[in-house]
Amino acid sequence: MSTKTKTSKSCLIILPYSILFFVAILYIIGTPIGNLGDLSLRAAETLRKADMVACEDTRQTLKLLNHLGIRTKMLSCRAQNEEFSAQKIIALLDEGKTVAYASDAGTPALSDPGSALARKAAEAGHEVIPIPGPSAFAALLSVSGAFDKSVTFEGFLSPKSGRRRTRLKELLETGFGFVLFESPFRVLKLFEDLADLDNSRYVCVGREMTKLHEEYLRGSVTEIWEILREKAEKSEIRGEFSVFISGKKSNYRVNY
């Protein structure tokens, strides 16, 4: 069980997290990006004790709650209805209720809904507290082996080729590293554009991160593009991709 520590001049008191659970707070919860075992004890406790769980997709979050044996009521808060749902959630907070918000996977507001809700709740005078958890962005950087001091999180680029290429060119010209998310249907197009713009950059690709068939590829843009083309010929391009592109040129040996 998670704990928080309170100190005084004469003693040290360790309090269980459940005792410190307050009302009328919006908790922003990081949820697993694939492996349910990555959910923290504190996140599970918060979901269990909340009066309402607001989520990106009730069907997806229900799987997580069922796994934990939690029966908390749910409220949909998707990107398409975030502004409207935020008003409902603020009304609950005004009544003294506690709300936990979770996106489908990972940390909310990072390429997911959550930003508008957090802002509106704070503007309404309510506390907004993060419950840190999994993030594909941070996880990929941790295994990239890169030394970039500055890294930009870009998320999904436009599916339109012209806009995607223009934004890629802008990101490459900054000289900083950056992280993208891409679908299996467009990842080859992404690397085709990267190879044309700057084929020497070091990249680290994570596929199906934290899941049973997770895979990591490291090397130059050209090297990884060749590997992905070979996989495509064997119909092995599956799952979601997280892609780190360094601001530096590659000096790595290609890694399969």
Alpha-helical segments (H) within 69-208: 82-94, 115-123, 136-144, 161-174, 187-198
Question: pTM of whole model > 0.85?
Answer: no
- All domains in the chain, ordered by first residue: 3-131 (3.40.1010.10), 136-249 (3.30.950.10)
37-66 average pLDDT score: 94
Dig out the tokens for 18 from the structure: 């459940």
Q: Is the dihedral of CA 58, 61, 141, 199 positive or negative?
A: negative
How many residues in total does the chain contain? 256
The pLDDT of residue 74 is above 80? yes
Q: What is the pLDDT of residues 202-255, one digit of tens each?
A: 999 999 999 999 999 999 999 999 999 999 999 999 999 999 999 988 776 555
Residues 6+ apart with CB under 8 A from 234: none
Among the residue ranges 68-82, 90-104, 116-130, the one predicted with the least confidence is 68-82
Location of structure tokens 């080859």: 188
